[in-house]
Amino acid sequence: MKRTPDIVVLSDLHLGTFGCHATELVNYLQSIQPKKLILNGDIIDMWQFNKKYWPVEHFKVIEEILSMLLQGTKVYYLSGNHDELLRRFERPKLGNLILDDKLILKLNGETYWFFHGDVFDITMKNSKWLAKLGGKGYDLLIWFNRHINLISERLGYGKISLSKRIKNSVKKAVMFISDFETTAAEIAIEQHYQVVVCGHIHQPVIKRINTTKGSVQYMNSGDWVENLTALEFDGKRWRMFNYHTDFIQSEQLEMEFKQAV
């Protein structure tokens, strides 16, 4: 039976790249029927799109989202830097599908600001060619990582994330994430938003950020390249869905229950 959260936020799916965990994403989408689905940027990776690489699983992700639309889910597609081509068009509303670059919602008396977050990235503003080159390198690293994990799992060592280890070990990368979160919080406070929800940096988190200008709730939905996470709202509180711990464990419990019966 499908779960029916009020809101689900997904970002950084990067469909069309080796890194996208489309099979797991389809499993997740098939398990939910939210009232609102917010796609917060970098859904289709138009930077690295290659018509020679579009697996069936990636198409199934689109199918599941369209199925939600037909069943009454309101879908907001907020553009990111990898699908910035969509920003060239006027912001159409096609039934339950809304295309924009940001979304403001009122929830339980608080004002929420949803947007991808690439506007804070100095590399994106001043050296887009460098950012695109980095994106290709990142995708190659993910592809290499997958092959390493196949060997690692066979040897009984489990999966490792090379990109996470690199990010966590590089001081500048850690500082960038901190600066990104602080900047998002400060601008949200200036605009009188109580909650800001981003993507872009692939770092899933729900936390309160206090600055000299005030306090704001900051959330990031993560990604479906490394973390496989999503934000879910049940009408009262937010939670971070993690495919590895939430979906896989629930599937195992359900299987064990069926075997016991």
Assign residue 110 the CATH number of its domain: 3.60.21.10
- The answer to which of 78-82, 100-104, 139-143, 180-184 has the lowest mean pLDDT is 139-143
d(CA 7, CA 76): 11
Residue 27 has pLDDT above 80, yes or no: yes
183 closest CA partner among 135, 223, 207, 218: 218
Q: Determine contact, residues 103/38, Cβ cutoff 8 Å.
A: yes
Q: What sign for the dihedral angle of Cα 252, 33, 100, 187?
A: negative
In a domain, residue 105? The reply is yes
In a domain, residue 2? The reply is no
Number of structural domains the chain divides into: 1
In a domain, residue 260? The reply is no
Range of the domain at 207: 7-254
In a domain, residue 138? The reply is yes
E strand intervals along 26-170: 36-40, 74-78, 93-94, 97-100, 103-107, 110-114
In a domain, residue 1? The reply is no
Q: Residue 61 has which token pair?
A: 């992700």
In a domain, residue 259? The reply is no
In a domain, residue 44? The reply is yes
> Do β-strands 110-114 and 103-107 pair in parallel, antiparallel, or remain unpaired?
antiparallel
Residue 257 has pLDDT above 90, yes or no: no
In a domain, residue 224? The reply is yes
Residue 73 has pLDDT above 90, yes or no: yes
pLDDT one-digit tens code per residue, 118-151: 876 544 444 443 344 345 555 555 555 665 566 6
Residue 252 has pLDDT above 60, yes or no: no
219 closest CA partner among 105, 52, 94, 140: 105
